[in-house]
Amino acid sequence: MEKGRVTDKALGENALFGMGNPLLDISAVVDKDFLDKYGLKPNDQILAEDKHKAMFDEIAKKSKVEYHAGGSTQNSVKIAQWMIQTPHKVATFFGCIGTDHFGEILKQKAEEAHVDARYYQQTQEPTGTCAACITGDNRSLVANLAAANCYNKEKHLDLDGNWELVEKAKVYYIAGFFLTVSPESILKVAKHASENNKIFSLNLSAPFISQFFKEAMMKVMPYVDILFGNETEAATFAKEQGFEETDDIAEIARRAQSLPKVNKKRQRVVVFTQGKDDTVATIGEKVTMFSVLDIDQNDIVDTNGAGDAFVGGFLSELVQERPLEECIRAGHYAANVIIRRAGCTFPEKPDFP
């Protein structure tokens, strides 16, 4: 790292806590016959059905198969840890996996990324996977949540040894996807953060979360200090909340900021990314626009992990108590690195000036 970017020496292990759906991303180059066999479009994102079961075994047998620890929250905390570099294990991650080979790979990948992953392992369901079937510049994603859906608050989060790690953290991040799995776990963590004046952040994650998991989301919202999302998610959220101005992203951010909040010591910050367009953030009473880093279209390999990467970069500065402008700059840097590569992967070290 450049001079002046020395990591805060007071930054201890487990300062950043994430909880979500751990998925093993399995990517391989396939041909059109493979896509046709399993009824896949070249560029798509779907949830696995019964007809896709055998596909996961088949893709794993491909000669140049790559495995990456995936899942939205896990991606973000992994990128935050990469941006921080040392100490290791600043980032903690909780989620549910199976007792199987893929689960072992996830453990190994988390270890390589220096993330302190404490998985809840159960035997009912196999480890969740996301198959990335690559043909040329296209990738068809098929997600099978499986074990990720089995996270159990009583059997994991509530255990003393695990809850101690929650208490050690000062910044918390959970993707909205986890609202479909264990809203009670999210609430317990969110309330702890609020009661101890620590920072709890949530991501809108996908339009369907705001639509179909609205009740669970709005139970958590009063504890949310930082709300992340992209322009599509923001518009859906505004519509579902009955905001009048659903096409003005700055107004949506302002309205989301002023929703009821329990911890009055911290004003809510709302951060909406818009792909190549400016990132919108509420800073104090103002809504500010931040331009993203320029990139040549030809250098873009895969925009799929951009949102997770933005959050990861943001969190890496936030946990070091740097100003919001710096958090956003780091988010833009991380996203710019990730979209040049396939999958949510990164070079050995960041070069964040």
State the catalytic residues: 308
Nearest to 119 by CA among 131, 142, 141, 102: 102
Consecutive H or E run containing 95:
strand 91-98
Those residues with Cβ within 8 angstroms of residue 69's Cβ, 6 or more apart along the chain or in another chain: 22, 24, 25, 75, 78, 106, 109, 110, 113
What one-letter code names the amino acid at 54? A
DSSP state of 189: H
**Nearest residue to 176 via CA among 163, 186, 165, 189:** 186
Cβ-contact 225, 269 below 8 angstroms: yes
Which is nearest to 154 in space by CA: 182, 178, 126, 117? Answer: 182
Residue 25: how many CA atoms within 13 Å on its side-chain side? Answer: 24
Three-class secondary structure of residue 306 per DSSP: helix
Phi, psi of 145 (to 5 degrees): -60, -45
- On whether the CB atoms of residues 97 and 119 are closer than 8 A, the answer is yes
Cβ atoms < 10 Å from Cβ of 198: 18
